[in-house]
Amino acid sequence: MDMKTVREDARKKLKGFCRVCPVCDGRVCAGEVPGMGGLGTASSFRANIEALARVRLQMRTIHPVKEPKLSFSLWGRTLSMPILVAPMTGSTYNMGGAMTEEQFVAELAAGALQAGTIAMTGDGADPSMFGSGLAAGKANRASTIAIIKPRAQEVIVSYLRQAEEAGVLATGMDVDGAGLVTMAMKGQPVGPKTFEELREVIGATQLPFIVKGVMTVDEAEAAVRAGAAAIVVSNHGGRVLDSVPGAAEVLPAIADRVKGKAMVFADGGVRSGTDVLKLLALGADAVLIGRPMITAVYGGGRDGVALALNQLRNELLQAMLLTGTADVGQVARSILAP
């Protein structure tokens, strides 16, 4: 199996919901929500790509770094790389339905484990989607992270109990899902949370809690004050609000303010190991990757996911060697060109 074959097979199975473009930048699928595109003009999707493209690395080859450290410790688990699979749902209405929701999330989770890392699992317009994610991790305890939509408080607490019972490594909420079109279409109410409501749900579990969808310094600080163990700097792949900056644009200021108080993850527009290193240099502790994993799982199942993740890891290793970066846990912002 190689990535060319994976991409060709994925293009057939995704049935036009994703064209598996040579450059995944949101132009062809603009406005296709449900589907794989960004909301409206897809400017927020493209902003993720463009923000990362503007970041440049300084190449250095006269240094002692010969075997960079890529392993990453996360709440007691040692991962092979600081790259996790982002939470994704909607195989039937976003991706054409060639895989059931259960198959989709199970193969993503298994492929991540095969590559030595883990997947976040999501919540969606069909309530059974959250359960599918929990089932994907039950065979290997602490092998997935369950992310919940900003539903009613009592529903979130119920989902937290299910996540605890399933033995997930951590849980959390993608607060940026507050206005998701697909949730509204399917009669699943979601909405913004007050600081007090956020603190209440975080306090309802002993699991590490992640607040996903943070794009401003003040909300990052609020999430940390509410008790979050981690935040994810993310604009939800450009799928919830048009005209939002790319994650790489806002990440440095957020990381400067809260890193060390909580873990800082980032996602949006990651297409290579070089992109991963850029986000680490901008302040992320780890990076989530979404759409490329859909191509990988539809084109090659768990083996395709592991292949794609290992390719990213190898690209990250190469970029570290060529920037003099010894450890993914200590990526200096000085490797970035001024």
- Please confirm, yes or no, whether 63 is among the known catalytic residues: no
Q: Where are the domains of the chain?
A: 3-19+27-327
Query: What count of other Cβ atoms lies within 10 Å of the Cβ of residue 167?
Result: 16
Confidence of residue 190 (pLDDT cuts 50, 70, 90): very high
Average pLDDT over residues 196-203: 98
Confidence of residue 60 (pLDDT cuts 50, 70, 90): very high
Is pLDDT above 90 for 226?
yes
pLDDT for res 90: 93
Across the chain, what does the average pLDDT equal?
96
Is pLDDT above 90 for 121?
yes
Confidence of residue 32 (pLDDT cuts 50, 70, 90): very high
Average pLDDT over residues 262-280: 98
Average pLDDT over residues 138-155: 93
What are the tokens at 178?
């507050």
Is pLDDT above 80 for 181?
no
Q: Which of 257, 256, 255 is nearest to 266 (CA)?
A: 255
What residue has token string 């060639």?
98
Average pLDDT over residues 206-227: 98
CA–CA dist 110, 300 (Å, integer): 12
Q: Which of 13, 193, 236, 239 is catalytic?
A: 236
* CATH superfamily of the 3-19+27-327 domain: Aldolase class I (3.20.20.70)
Average pLDDT over residues 70-94: 96
Confidence of residue 257 (pLDDT cuts 50, 70, 90): very high
* Beta strands per DSSP E along the chain: 72-74, 77-79, 83-85, 119-121, 144-148, 170-174, 209-214, 230-233, 263-266, 286-289
Q: Are strands 72-74 and 77-79 parallel, antiparallel or unpaired?
A: antiparallel
Q: Which of 276, 272, 299, 296 is nearest to 286 (CA)?
A: 276
Is pLDDT above 90 for 295?
yes
CA–CA dist 233, 218 (Å, integer): 12
Average pLDDT over residues 207-212: 98
